[in-house]
């Protein structure tokens, strides 16, 4: 319709009308573009808000999980040191206490990561939707730093763990796992993190079985060197968490506290 009017005005050489028609066209196009941009901006803001909320929830769980790894591996380290001291004759432990500590020194925690939101943002190139710099930077660090994988891998592949598991009778290992192993924790339960592994327990095993297992431990000269290696690995990873990557832990705790 506008085009027909313009043609008519040109034929009649009505230049003022032509300019008015052109202005109407330009203004119409401009308004259309602005409305389109506004709608697109609203849609982008909605997506950004959804992703930000999801990523914040993910990182709050990662904050708890990171603290769990620090506390748990601190317990493993304490038991490894206790066992090494007892086996090398520096301190005395009862047979049952030695057995429990030696078992707990084999433990490791494989914490499942909550990273689906981050992976989606990266794979789609939408990480820029996260406008909060601390939230974005903390996510990029926490999901790429190798410390989480390293601490689980070294625990799983520990030569001390292998030596202990091969030398202990199955019934002894089952009793230790049942009565002195990991205690279940609800995600977000910070109060339960303290001594989540290093708590008082009894094995429930017959005295003869306890004595035989302790004798096996004390007579194996390879265990102390393997414990030293385990202790060194644990200390390295705990330093990674608490010192080398302190910015990650600080960022996670700030997000968990609602201060992103």
Please determine, for residue 130, whether its predicted confidence score (pLDDT) is greater than 80: yes
Please determine, for residue 26, whether its predicted confidence score (pLDDT) is greater than 80: no
Angle in degrees, CA 222, 164, 192, rounded to 5? 125
The model's pLDDT over 193-224, given as tens digits with 9 standing for 90+, comes to 988 899 999 999 999 999 999 999 999 999 99
Helix 15-87 crosses helix 116-123 at what angle (to 10 degrees)?
140
In angstroms, rounded to a whole number, what is the distance separating the alpha carbons of residues 133 and 74? 31
Selected residue with higher pLDDT from 259 and 224: 224
Please determine, for residue 32, whether its predicted confidence score (pLDDT) is greater than 80: no
The model's pLDDT over 154-164, given as tens digits with 9 standing for 90+, comes to 999 999 999 99
Residue 36, pLDDT score: 57
pLDDT, mean over the chain: 89
Give percent of the chain with pLDDT exceeding 90.
78
Please determine, for residue 40, whether its predicted confidence score (pLDDT) is greater than 80: no
The model's pLDDT over 43-94, given as tens digits with 9 standing for 90+, comes to 778 999 999 999 999 999 999 999 999 999 999 999 999 999 999 999 999 9
In angstroms, rounded to a whole number, what is the distance separating the alpha carbons of residues 223 and 86? 11
The answer to whether 224 and 104 have CB atoms below 8 angstroms apart is no
In angstroms, rounded to a whole number, what is the distance separating the alpha carbons of residues 176 and 197? 12
């Amino acid at each position: 319709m506008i085009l027909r009017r313009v043609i008519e005005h040109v034929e009649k050489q009505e230049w003022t009308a032509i300019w008015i028609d052109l202005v109407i066209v330009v203004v119409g196009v401009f308004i259309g573009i602005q409305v389109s941009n506004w709608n697109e901006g609203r849609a982008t803001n909605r997506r950004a808000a959804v992703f930000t909320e999801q990523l914040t929830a993910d990182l709050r769980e990662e904050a708890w999980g990171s603290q769990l790894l620090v506390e748990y591996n601190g317990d493993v380290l304490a038991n490894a040191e206790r066992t090494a001291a007892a086996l090398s004759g520096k301190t005395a432990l009862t047979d049952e206490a030695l057995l429990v500590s030696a078992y707990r020194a084999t433990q490791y925690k494989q914490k499942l990561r909550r990273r689906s939101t981050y992976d989606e943002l990266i794979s789609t190139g939408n990480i820029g939707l996260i406008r909060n710099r601390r939230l974005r930077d903390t996510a990029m660090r926490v999901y790429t730093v190798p410390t989480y994988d390293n601490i689980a891998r070294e625990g799983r592949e520990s030569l001390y763990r292998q030596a202990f598991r091969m030398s202990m009778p199955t019934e002894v290992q089952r009793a230790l796992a049942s009565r002195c192993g990991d205690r279940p924790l609800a995600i977000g339960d910070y109060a339960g993190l303290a001594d989540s592994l290093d708590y008082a327990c009894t094995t429930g095993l017959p005295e003869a079985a306890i004595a035989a297992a302790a004798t096996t431990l004390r007579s194996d000269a390879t265990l102390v060197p393997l414990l030293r290696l385990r202790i060194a690995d644990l200390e390295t990873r705990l330093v990674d968490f608490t010192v080398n990557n302190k910015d990650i832990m600080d960022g996670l705790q700030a997000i968990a506290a609602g201060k992103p």
